Amino acid sequence: MAKELLKGNEAFAEAAIRAGCEGFYGYPITPSTEFLEYMAKRMPQLGRAFVQAESEVAAVNMVYGAACTGKRTMTASSSPGISLMMEGISYIAGTEVPAVIVNVIRGGPGLGNIAPSQGDYYQMVKGGGHGDYFPIVLAPASVQETVDCIILAFDLADKYRSIVHVIVDGNLGQMMEPAELPPMRELPKEPPEWAVTGAKGREPNFLSSIYIDPADEEVTNIRLVKRWMEIEKNEVRYNELMMEDAEFAVIGFGTAGRVASSAVRAAREEGIKVGLFRPISLAPFPKKEVEEISKRVQRILVVEMNSGMMLDDIVPLVEGRVPVEFYGRMGGMTPFPDEILDEIRRVSENKAPVNGNARAEWIARLEKIVEEGK
Amino acid sequence: MKETSIIISGFGGQGTLFSGQVLAYAALDNNFNVTWIPSYGPEMRGGTASCTVIISKEEIGSPLVRNPDISVVLNLPSLDKYEHLTKSGGCLVANSSLINRGLNRDDLKNVYIPANEIAEEIGLSRMANMVMIGGMLCLAPVLSLEVVKQALSEHIPERHRRTLPMNFDAMQRGYEFAEQALAEVAA
């Protein structure tokens, strides 16, 4: 199929349908609403389930219930809506059923605003819900990559009986960009063997997240940890731009990584040997790759649309080998390429030793930038 | 041409978002990479509506730019916002029907087009956006008028198909108005 000009949220919803999503349950919230609107129209046409629930809490529990039947199920929401879903997300994790959850992140904390942000990094990557569990988190940077990640998300969710979060922001949700949708997948004829589908003629299956005896819960915890170790081994994904001969590395994901790619190209034209490392799987995080990078570059600049949350994951991997600096915008502000280019220029000339407080140095610079009205 | 960034801005309802989409379709149909992104903040409700279109032969990084190569401004608040942001040496197309002042800088190629009056002559005031696009394509020939017309005919929503000839006329007249205005400046 040829590339078409596709609107982010609508393309993501269609990708989910083509991946075999048979149940969508959600509650509208900007900037993810078009996802739900598209599902409201398309799912009934295909004889699949769509419910606009009375709240996010209800929606995520519908996802939970439907996932227990072995059908591919999902929801899409945005930051405050995802917070409301966290209890159900933990139950889904504890029950070990697959589910795909798309978060179109917006500015926060609190009600915040509807502008693009990456401020939910901790909530998504570190779990967000209560208890011991590890979600898979994918952070694409273009309409095409998001389409591909949504398909992948369903496959990974099934493979590992895991929650897969796909995190984007309003830039990706609202923009139009040429992309190619995959062909429609055939729906599976048989449910997976663990699914609860009526036990006529077989032993009943039982799905629950309750383990009253802590010893039983611990057995489950061990299984979840071992499964996560398997995921860490198999499912790391990332993208590199001009990293082969790079003396400086920019590390950024999603929109921040994409904006940084413009700055990296511009810096290369000025003769600065800089490259971009863009993690696509934030969980599992490309730890080994970041370690390797820190052994061959002079300095690292982490760029995010939050207060340096991925930075906190990168600093321990670098182990002080090279200085790690940070640049971020917050509150729904998307950096422009020239801001990141200024940072690349500064970092490439900075010979100061590791200071260990990239966040404090950045906040001082950011306050000046904000004062100047940039 | 490495990468061309275009911001089209006006009141909500002036068709700025759609006219940007027409450019995006035309770019895609002619094997360019392209991104289209609207401003989708609360300002859309009753205020300014704008979109950024980036056209490139190479992979596009940021879909947003601080300093566009080309600004197409359909009302005064949009001129106030984008005049000083437009790249030095860049292009600015202003709708003189709704803008009663000149430019405060002299390093922009520019043309003023009475887009609303021209649209009303055509018989549909909603065509002002297409008049402006026609003018832009004359001042800054990122794409040819013909390929944009072709893209419009292929992507116009069915319910608006009957307005296609008027859209063509609007683009043509905008283009010709700009052509003449630029010739007068040169003479």
Tokens at residue A177, please? 């960009």
- Is the Cβ pair B63, A177 closer than 8 Å? yes
Residue A177 near chain B (CB below 8 Å): yes
Hunting for tokens 């273009």 — which residue is that?
A142
Q: Which residues pair with B70 in a beta bridge?
A: B6, B91
- Is the Cβ pair B21, A265 closer than 8 Å? no
- Choose the closest CB to B63 out of A113, A175, A178: A175
Closest CA to B36 of A143, A185, A181: A143
CB A247 within 8 A of CB A323: no
Query: pLDDT digit string (tens) for B117-164?
Result: 999 999 998 999 999 999 999 999 999 999 999 999 999 999 999 999
CB B89 within 8 A of CB B29: no
CB A272 within 8 A of CB A222: no
What is the rounded CA–CA span in Å between residue A251 and residue A142? Answer: 17
Query: pLDDT digit string (tens) for B100-125?
Result: 999 999 999 999 999 999 999 999 98
Closest CA to A249 of A301, A212, A174: A301
Instruction: State the best of B18, B30, B35 to mutate against chain A, taking most chain A CBs within 10 Å.
Output: B35
DSSP state at residue B123: T
Confidence (pLDDT) at B83: 97
Q: Mean of the pLDDT values across residues B9-30?
A: 94
Q: Which CATH number fits the domain A4-234, given the four candidates 3.40.50.720, 3.50.50.60, 3.40.50.970, 3.40.50.300?
A: 3.40.50.970
Q: Which domains does chain B have, with CATH numbers?
A: 3-186 (3.40.920.10)
Query: pLDDT digit string (tens) for A255-289?
Result: 999 999 999 999 999 999 999 999 999 999 999 99
Distance of alpha carbon B113 from its chain centroid, rounded? 11
Q: Helix/strand/coil (H, E, C) string of B69-109?
A: CEEEECCHHHHHHHCCCCCCCCEEEEECCCCCCCCCCCCCE
CB B60 within 8 A of CB B35: yes
- Choose the closest CB to B37 out of A175, A262, A265: A175
- Is the Cβ pair B35, A176 closer than 8 Å? yes
- Is the Cβ pair B40, A262 closer than 8 Å? no
> Which residue type, as a one-letter code, is found at position A160?
Y
Confidence (pLDDT) at A353: 86
> Which residue type, as a one-letter code, is found at position B88?
S
Q: Are strands A281-283 and A136-138 parallel, antiparallel or unpaired?
A: antiparallel
Average pLDDT, chain B: 94
Q: Which residues pair with A302 in a beta bridge?
A: A251, A326
Query: pLDDT digit string (tens) for A223-265?
Result: 999 999 999 999 999 999 999 999 999 999 999 999 999 999 9
Count of CB pairs separated by less than 8 Å, A with B? 65
Rounded to whole angstroms, what are the CA distances from A210 to A30, A66, A223? 34, 18, 15
Number of helices (H) and strands (E), helices first, in chain B? 6, 6
Closest-CA residue of chain B to A173: B37
Average pLDDT, chain A: 97
Q: In 3-state terms, what secondary structure has residue A75?
A: strand
In this structure, the dihedral spanned by the alpha carbons of residues A165, A116, A291 and A123, taken in order and rounded to 10 degrees, is -50
Q: Which of residues 260-279 of A touch B (CB under 8 A)?
A: 260-263, 265
Q: How confident is the model at residue B1 (pLDDT cuts 50, 70, 90)?
A: low
CB A370 within 8 A of CB A339: no
Hunting for tokens 């591919």 — which residue is that?
A72
- Is the Cβ pair A176, B66 closer than 8 Å? no
> Which residue type, as a one-letter code, is found at position B34?
V
Burial of A1 (0-12, 13-18, 19+ CB in 10 A): exposed
What is the rounded CA–CA span in Å between residue B171 and residue B181? Answer: 15
Query: pLDDT digit string (tens) for B66-98?
Result: 999 999 999 999 999 999 999 999 999 999 999
DSSP H/E element including A234: helix A214-234
Distance of alpha carbon A53 from its chain centroid, rounded? 24
CB A86 within 8 A of CB A56: no
> Which segments of chain A are extended strands (E)?
4-7, 23-26, 49-52, 73-77, 99-105, 136-138, 163-169, 176-179, 238-241, 248-251, 274-279, 281-283, 299-304, 324-328
Other beta carbons within 10 angstroms of residue A271's beta carbon come to: 8
Confidence (pLDDT) at A373: 79
Q: How confident is the model at residue A109 (pLDDT cuts 50, 70, 90)?
A: very high
Reported ipTM: the value is 0.94
Q: How confident is the model at residue B45 (pLDDT cuts 50, 70, 90)?
A: low
What is the CATH architecture of A239-371?
A: 3-Layer(aba) Sandwich (3.40)
Per DSSP, the residues of A351-372 read -----S-HHHHHHHHHHHHHHT
Q: Helix/strand/coil (H, E, C) string of A193-232?
A: CCCCCCCCCCCCCCCCCCCCCHHHHHHHHHHHHHHHHHHH
With pLDDT > 70 as the criterion, what percentage of chain B qualifies? 96
- Choose the closest CB to A176 out of B24, B42, B64: B24
Q: In 3-state terms, what secondary structure has residue A374?
A: coil
Q: Which residues pair with A50 in a beta bridge?
A: A24
Per CB-CB distance under 8 Å, the chain A contacts of B59 are 261
What is the rounded CA–CA span in Å between residue A339 and residue A329? Answer: 10
Give residue B174's region: left, alpha or beta (phi > 0; psi -120 to 50).
alpha
What is the rounded CA–CA span in Å between residue A127 and residue A225? Answer: 13
Closest CA to A40 of A60, A17, A7: A17
Q: Where are the domains of chain A?
A: 4-234, 239-371
Q: Distance, in angstroms, between B74 CA and closest chain A CA?
A: 22
Residue B24 near chain A (CB below 8 Å): yes
Beta-carbon contacts of A138 under 8 Å, excluding residues fewer than 6 positions away, are: A149, A152, A153, A164, A165, A166, A167, A237, A280, A281, A282
Q: Are strands A238-241 and A274-279 parallel, antiparallel or unpaired?
A: antiparallel
Query: pLDDT digit string (tens) for A2-55?
Result: 789 999 999 999 999 999 999 999 999 999 999 999 999 999 999 999 999 999
